[in-house]
Amino acid sequence: MSKYLKHLIVLLKKVGIAFLLFTICRILFFAFNYNHFNTVSIGSFFYGLRFDTVAISFLFAPIIVLQLAPFPFRNFSWYQRTVNIIFYAILTIATLLNLADVAYFDYTLKRTTADVFGMMSEGDDFLTLLPTYVADFWYAFVLLGLLIFIAIYINKKFNKLYINYKPYRLKDYTIHLSIFIATAGLLILGMRGGLQYKPLSIVNAGQYAPAQNVPVVLNTPFTIMKTLNANKLERINYFTEEELKAIYTPEKQMSGIAGFEEKNVVIIILESFAKEYIGALNNGKGYTPFLDSLIGESYVYNKAYANGQRSIESLPCILSGIPQLMSSSFIISNYASNKVDGLPKLLKNHGYNTSFYHGGANGTMGFNGFVGSMGIDDYFGMDEYPNEKIATDYDGLWGIFDEPYLKYFGNELNQKKEPFFSTVFTISSHHPFTIPKEHFGRFPKGTMPVHETIGYADYSLKQFFNSIKSMPWFNNTLFVLTADHSSHSETAYYNSRLNRFAIPSLIYDPTGKIKGTDSSYFEQIDITPTLLDLLNISDSIITFGNSSYSSEKDGVINYINGNYQYAFNDYFLIFNGEKTTDLYNVLNDSLLTKNIIDSLSPIETSIKEQGENQVKAIIQQYNNRIINNQLSKSN
C-alpha cells in the first residue's frame, strides 16, 4: 500500500512547508508591528492556522490536483520538476504578500485587501514608487529570499523525485482515484475553513482574538481572496423601514445659521497629519508651530477623527459625507458612478465656482473622476502645474513639494471669481518622506521619518497664509484644515482602536467671528453639513454626517478588518455585523484594554443596545442606499 501513498506523502510535505512559511510570516508580522497590538496570546498564532488552511487550500489547489492526478505520467521526472516550479512560484507569491504587510501594516493598520489592485490601476504612482518601496523595505525582500531558500532546501531534502515508468493497472487507477477524490473532499473543506454553515470570513477572526489583535490571526492572501468581491455590498434588513427611520436617517434638512452667506470656502487636506503630531493638541509636544498658532485663532474640534485609513478613502468622507464602511474605497468601487449630494455640487447650485488641486500625477487614486462627479468644475493635477517649474519643484516620486504647490494654489485663488469653493490636497508628509534639499536640517527630525516632513508641511502652510493674507478675498473666506487620515504612532494611546483615527480639524475665519474649542465627537463626514450650516444654506440633503451646530450629533464610525467600530458618549463599541463583540468605557479606559462586554451592568446593557442599534441602522442605510443608488435627494 505504501507505493500508493508516495505522491500523497510528497504533497503533505509540500503543504507542510507552506504552513511553516505562513507561520514564520505571522511571527515576523507580529515582531515588526508588536506596538500596534494589545497582549497577544499564543492562541492567536495557533488559531491563525485555520485561516492559513483556507488560503493554502485555494492557492495550492493546482499543486494538489497536479500531484495527485491519477495518471502514470506524474511519475516522470519532467512532470515532477514542473510541479516543483509551480509550487515555488505560488509559495513565493503567497510569502511576498504576507511580507508586504510585515513592512506596510504600520502605515495602513490593516491587512492588505483586494482593493490594492484597484489602486494600482489608478494612475502611474505604483510603478513610479515601486523602486522606492524596494529600497525602503529592503529587509522584506531579504526575508523573502531567505524563506524561499529554506523552502527549496527542505523540499529537495525531504521530497526526492519518485521515478517510476511502469504503466498503471486497473487496480492502480482505482486506488489512486480514490485517494484523489478523498483529498479533493478535504480540499473543499479546507477552502471553506471547516464544517460551519458559512465559509470562514475575515470577521470570524474576531472569535479568536480581541478586535485590535485580529490582524495577527489573519494572513494577507486570505484577506485579499475574501475581499475580491467586496465591491458588492449585501442588502441589510436589521430593521423594518419604519423602525429604521425612527433610529437613524441620513436624510437631513440643513437649517443654516446667519452670518457667513456667500463666504468663499477653502478646504486644505493635509497628508497623514495625525493629531499626535500637533503640539497645540498634545500639551505642546509636536512638530507644527504654525498650525499651533492658527489653532489659537480658530474653531477647533478637539475630538476629531478620520472615517478611513487611506487617502483614497478620505475624499468621499470630506466632500460628500459618505463614510468608509466597506473594504473597497467608494472611489474605486462598483458604486463610484452613483449620484451623490456632494458639498461642491450643492455650493455650485448656489453660484459657487468649484475647483480641486492636487500636486500628484493626474489620475492618482481616481481623484479627477471622483471630484468631477461631486460637482467640481476644474481639476488641477501635476499636468496643469507650470512646466518650467516642475524640474525644481518635483519631489521625484509623488508630485510637487508642498511649499511651491501651495504658493501656486494661492496664486490660482487670486484669479477665482467669488464666491468660490476650492480644495487642495498636500503630498509631502507621505512615505518616503522627502523634503527639498534647501530645507535639509531645518526641521526637527523627531523619532520617526514622518516628523521632519510634518515640520516642512507646517512651514509650507505658514508661507501659504503669509502670501494670501493681504488678498482682497482673504477675509471673506472660511478655511477648513483637516487630514486625510492619521499615521503610524509610537504611543499606546494613539495606537488604540479609536485614537489611531485621531486627526486635527479646524475652521479658521480671518475675521475672528468664530473661535473656540468643540470637545464633542467630530468626524470627516461632519464637514459637509457643518459648512452648509455656516453658509446658511438650507438645502435638504443626504449625508451620514451631522453639523456640529446640530443637536443630532452621533459619534464616530469606522470600518476596519471586517468590523465596525463606533465611539459614542463615553463608550466605544465593536460590532462584527452580527453582534457586539467589544464594549469599552473610554472615560475610564483610554487605551481600550478592558472589554466589559461580559460584565455589563443594567445601565451598560442599555447603553450597549443603544449603540448597537445605531450602528446597525447606519449600516443598513449605507448598504441599501448605495445598492439602490439613493445617495441624492434629486434621484
DSSP annotation of 502 reads B
Residue 529 sits in the same domain as residue 635 = no
Distance from C-alpha of 221 to C-alpha of 202, rounded to nearest angstrom: 11
| 548-603 confidence digits (pLDDT tens) | 988 777 799 999 888 999 999 999 999 999 999 999 999 999 999 999 999 999 99
Residue 487, CB-side half-sphere exposure with 13 Å CA sphere: 22
| 366-409 confidence digits (pLDDT tens) | 888 888 888 899 999 999 999 878 888 998 888 999 999 999 99
Peptide bond into 419 cis (omega under 30): yes
Residue 49 sits in the same domain as residue 175 = yes
Instruction: Give the rounded distance of the alpha carbon of 573 from its chain centre.
Output: 19
Out of 161, 192, 226, a domain closes at: 226
Residue 209 sits in the same domain as residue 298 = no
Distance from C-alpha of 400 to C-alpha of 252, rounded to nearest angstrom: 39
Least confident of 36-40, 69-73, 118-122: 118-122
Residue 221 sits in the same domain as residue 258 = no
Residue 213's CB: how many other CB atoms inside 10 A?
20
Within a domain: residue 156? yes
Looking at the 3D structure of the chain, how many domains does it have?
3
- E strand or H helix that includes residue 23: helix 2-33
Specify burial of residue 185 (Cβ count, 10 A radius: 0-12, 13-18, 19+): exposed
Residue 324 sits in the same domain as residue 459 = yes
Residue 350 sits in the same domain as residue 489 = yes
Residue 221 sits in the same domain as residue 287 = no
- E strand or H helix that includes residue 253: strand 251-253
CB contact at 8 A, 456 and 435: yes
Q: Is the dihedral of CA 398, 401, 404, 406 positive or negative?
A: positive
- What pLDDT is recorded for position 604? 95
| 400-450 confidence digits (pLDDT tens) | 999 999 999 999 999 999 999 999 999 999 888 899 999 999 999 999 999
Distance from C-alpha of 583 to C-alpha of 562, rounded to nearest angstrom: 17
CB contact at 8 A, 354 and 422: yes
Nearest to 617 by CA among 240, 247, 325, 234: 247
Measured CA to CA in angstroms, residue 604 lies from 576, 599, 608 at distances of 19, 9, 6
Residue 331 sits in the same domain as residue 276 = yes
Q: What are phi and psi of 401, to 5 degrees?
A: -55, 150
Distance from C-alpha of 392 to C-alpha of 437, rounded to nearest angstrom: 10
Supply the range of the domain harboring residue 152: 2-226
Residues near 153 by beta carbon (within 8 Å), at least 6 away in sequence: none
Residue 6 sits in the same domain as residue 105 = yes
Measured CA to CA in angstroms, residue 367 lies from 8, 129, 319, 373, 553 at distances of 51, 18, 12, 10, 29
DSSP annotation of 382 reads G
pLDDT for 498 beyond 90: yes
Rg (CA), the chain: 27
Least confident of 149-153, 175-179, 239-243: 175-179
First to last CA, the chain: 70
Specify burial of residue 389 (Cβ count, 10 A radius: 0-12, 13-18, 19+): middle
Query: Which grid coordinates are listed for 82?
Result: 514542473
CB contact at 8 A, 480 and 265: yes
Distance from C-alpha of 265 to C-alpha of 65, rounded to nearest angstrom: 61
DSSP annotation of 496 reads S
Query: For all residues of the chain together, what is the average pLDDT?
Result: 90
DSSP annotation of 167 reads P
Residue 196 sits in the same domain as residue 279 = no
119: pLDDT confidence band, cut at 50, 70 and 90?
Answer: low
CATH number of the domain that 415 lies in? 3.40.720.10
Residue 490 sits in the same domain as residue 447 = yes
Residue 207 sits in the same domain as residue 271 = no
Within a domain: residue 549? no
| 189-200 confidence digits (pLDDT tens) | 999 998 887 788
Measured CA to CA in angstroms, residue 127 lies from 32, 131, 149, 364, 398 at distances of 26, 8, 27, 12, 11
